[in-house]
Structure 1
Amino acid sequence: MDIFMILKLLGGLALFLYGMKLMGDGLQALASGKMTQILERLTNKTIYGVLLGAGVTAVIQSSSATTVMVVSLVNSGVMSLRQAVGVIMGANIGTTVTSWMLSMVGIESDAVLIKMLKPSSFAPILAMIGVVLYMKAKENAKRTNISHLLIGFSVLIFGMDAMSASMEPLAHSPYFENMLVAVSNPLFGIIVGMVFTAIIQSSSASVGILQALSLTGAVSFGTALPIILGQNIGTCSTALLSSVGASKNARRASMIHLYFNVVGVTVFTLAFYGLNMIFNFEFLTAAVGPVTIAVIHSIFNVGSTMLIYPFSKHLVNLAEYTVPDDRVSNGYSSLHKI
């Protein structure tokens, strides 16, 4: 892996992250603040929170942005912790939409209609439309936001293609193959996915990079699975950072996000690898593509929500126990003074 390959990868990642940010900003601006209003009007039913969290995240393409929004609403007292827990669960489901969108990058066919379904085929058209709208937008805010949406999506796809192209030589690299074998260790793979996602502050980007890497044909199921699990924990870093210096309930909301993913990853890891010890899953050595990664990502997040949903109140209680009220944490010292 030479310096030029790394530079191409970094360039592709930069385009990917910028495109995602531009697209998300355009969508949020078009919504004219309605996203926040919807979250503010949540009922006490957790299921509605899950659905709204999933819908909002699917639109703005960032579970981190949704979770940070929730933390800020809890911090301001607009939303309770019991309302927040549902939105946080839904945000994890909504973030899988990005991976499904990126899975189309790997579409291969000679049919013109099928080829046009590939994002790299229609992204240039959207980019051109977006640029024309931007040039003619002048003071028209709606046109400007639509142009940001179209250009952002196109830049994201170009970044994805650039990352994929930079990684093609790795398919024949013995060093790279040895590295992937090491990552196949569940614990190490989870740590790698967690740390990398925490650094770039985006699970969608982290999953996108893994999908681009899978196009080389060198990524196995056993390698992808633990990395994806780690990515879900790593994405919690954004909410945790946003809660620094905030109210206790805001910090509790960020802890709910962390606990949700840690519990989900722990249960999934123990169950899956426990069954593997009994049945010896042969498919772990099979190569995976972008679609398979999207499937794994979706199964984990939807499965975790279904598993933890009945215990949402306990999740809130755990967060309250972790970040106790002052009178609880200082109870002993106050009693001692008396």
Structure 2
Amino acid sequence: MASSPLSISLLAASGLVLFLYAVSRLALALRHVAGERTKDILHRCTKSIPAAIITGTVVTTLLDSSSVVIILVIALVSAGALPFRNSLGVVLGANIGTTISSQLFAFDLGQYAVLAMLPGLLLLSLSKKRNGRTAGRALFCFGLLFFSLFIIGEAAAPLKEYKGVQAWLLKLENPVRGAGAGALITLLVQSSSATLGMVIKLAGKGLLTLPAGIAVMLGAELGTCSDTLLATVGRGRPAVRTGVFHLVFNLISISLGLLLVKPFTALVLLLAGHADVARQIAHAHVLFNVAGVLLFAPLLPLCQRLLEAALPDTTDPQPSSTLKPQVA
């Protein structure tokens, strides 16, 4: 068991590197498996607001990344393959779909990761077909995801002995401080999933309280907007409107979350007080994102009109750009 500050830092950093590698490769493998079918689904199944929200939720769950889905939507809107109004519901659905990851992280599956990693490695090594190798890579990375979180949790366990670390983590109970830390960490590691994974693991080791976990979670929601905004650079006005909507949606939702953090925390305790803190944070993530979608869904026609008025179409053609998405 790691005990010195240096060994703790090295072990935690190793776990984080493995996590970021696993989540990026998993998203890439799942996108290869989905292929053009994802674009076709987004085009055909987003005709109404409820259908768009459901489609965004399902596709994000399957691809395991809200940023990948939103950036794909921005590209489709930019190419004229998806109407701007249809993209709004998909953005909302993506925010629900990304909560599935936090629910999975709350399970302590790291010690069983080999049950996915070994078959995945065999399939990756022995399969002669590209789809088989891609499926094997996805399965291996899925197991590696939980193994890396297990490493992070084991590295964090000795931190209970360091009063300075405990005092700093307690300061995160301040909503603004916690949200700022969550946004900064997400910007640095370019993955809200990594931020939430670390938060859940720290809570599971008794190092993070529910109020602190909720505050950091709110900040992670804001930090994940950075890459989707970058994806709009050089694209047409409809695509820019989609990116701006994602930012505005998160800003308003997070602001309301910070203002109502005490009653929200009380509600989480009321609904999930029997669960451990790690599971409570995962439930809070679901509750917060679903509440935000329910709040915004009836307002989508108004949001469409406001954004079209604020960012009207231009006649000048806009070159498109391809950016590497962060994984959320």
Same fold (TM over 0.5): yes
> Which whole-Å CA distance do the structure 2 matches of 1:154 and 1:161 have between them?
11
> Which whole-Å CA distance do the structure 2 matches of 1:287 and 1:45 have between them?
37
Partner of 1:144: 133
**Distance apart, 1:125 and its partner CA:** 2.1
> Which whole-Å CA distance do the structure 2 matches of 1:34 and 1:3 have between them?
47
Q: Verify: 1:244 aligned to 2:247, yes or no.
A: no
**Distance apart, 1:61 and its partner CA:** 0.6
> Which whole-Å CA distance do the structure 1 matches of 2:104 and 2:134 have between them?
21
Partner of 2:117: 127
* 2:113 aligned counterpart, secondary structure: helix
**Distance apart, 1:86 and its partner CA:** 0.2
> Which whole-Å CA distance do the structure 1 matches of 2:141 and 2:270 have between them?
40
Q: Which of 282, 286, 291 is 1:303 aligned to?
A: 291
Aligned-partner residue type, residue 305 of structure 2:
N
Sort the Cα spacing of 1:44 and 1:32 in 2 relative to 1 into closer, same or farther, 3 A.
closer
Sort the Cα spacing of 1:136 and 1:62 in 2 relative to 1 into closer, same or farther, 3 A.
same
Q: Which of 216, 221, 227 is 1:232 aligned to?
A: 221
Aligned-partner residue type, residue 97 of structure 2:
G
> Which whole-Å CA distance do the structure 2 matches of 1:311 and 1:83 have between them?
14
Deviations 1:51-91 (A, max 9, x none): 00000000111001011101111111111221000000000
CA contact (8 A) 1:168 1:216 kept: yes
Q: Which of 299, 302, 305 is 1:314 aligned to?
A: 302
CA contact (8 A) 1:160 1:212 kept: yes
CA contact (8 A) 1:75 1:250 kept: yes
CA contact (8 A) 1:50 1:91 kept: yes
Partner of 1:186: 175
Q: TM-score of the superposition, structure 2-length normalised?
A: 0.87
> Which whole-Å CA distance do the structure 1 matches of 2:18 and 2:312 have between them?
42
**Distance apart, 1:326 and its partner CA:** 5.4
Aligned-partner residue type, residue 127 of structure 1:
M
> Which whole-Å CA distance do the structure 1 matches of 2:6 and 2:32 have between them?
39
Q: Which of 32, 47, 51 is 2:50 aligned to?
A: 47
Deviations 1:234-278 (A, max 9, x none): 11111001111111111111111111111111223223447889x
* 1:210 aligned counterpart, secondary structure: helix
CA contact (8 A) 1:221 1:287 kept: no
Partner of 2:323: none
> Which whole-Å CA distance do the structure 1 matches of 2:91 and 2:246 have between them?
6
Q: Which runs of 5+ in 1 are unaligned?
A: 106-118, 328-338
Deviations 1:177-216 (A, max 9, x none): 2112221111111111112112222211111111111122
* 2:17 aligned counterpart, secondary structure: helix
Aligned-partner residue type, residue 296 of structure 1:
A
* 1:104 aligned counterpart, secondary structure: coil
Deviations 1:121-180 (A, max 9, x none): 432122111111122113x01210111111111111111111111111112221112112
Partner of 2:100: 97
Q: How many residues in Structure 1 have an aligned counterpart in Structure 2?
A: 309
> Which whole-Å CA distance do the structure 1 matches of 2:239 and 2:284 have between them?
30
Q: Verify: 1:211 aligned to 2:214, yes or no.
A: no
**Distance apart, 1:15 and its partner CA:** 0.8
Aligned-partner residue type, residue 286 of structure 2:
S
Deviates more, 1:267-276 or 1:166-175: 267-276
> Which whole-Å CA distance do the structure 2 matches of 1:207 and 1:276 have between them?
17
Sort the Cα spacing of 1:77 and 1:223 in 2 relative to 1 into closer, same or farther, 3 A.
same
CA contact (8 A) 2:78 2:235 kept: yes
**Distance apart, 1:49 and its partner CA:** 0.6
Partner of 2:75: 72
Give the number of the structure whose alpha-carbon radius of gyration is greater: 1
Aligned-partner residue type, residue 212 of structure 1:
K
% of aligned pairs identical?
A: 28
Equivalent runs, 1:17-36 vs 2, <5 Å: 17-36=20-39
Aligned-partner residue type, residue 243 of structure 2:
S
Aligned-partner residue type, residue 234 of structure 1:
G
> Which whole-Å CA distance do the structure 1 matches of 2:124 and 2:306 have between them?
48
> Which whole-Å CA distance do the structure 1 matches of 2:238 and 2:183 have between them?
25
Aligned-partner residue type, residue 291 of structure 2:
G
Partner of 1:157: 146
Q: CA RMSD in A?
A: 2.4
Aligned-partner residue type, residue 261 of structure 1:
N
> Which whole-Å CA distance do the structure 1 matches of 2:179 and 2:100 have between them?
22
CA contact (8 A) 2:19 2:194 kept: yes
CA contact (8 A) 1:64 1:202 kept: no
> Which whole-Å CA distance do the structure 1 matches of 2:225 and 2:192 have between them?
9
**Distance apart, 1:320 and its partner CA:** 3.2
CA contact (8 A) 1:54 1:87 kept: yes
Aligned-partner residue type, residue 120 of structure 2:
G
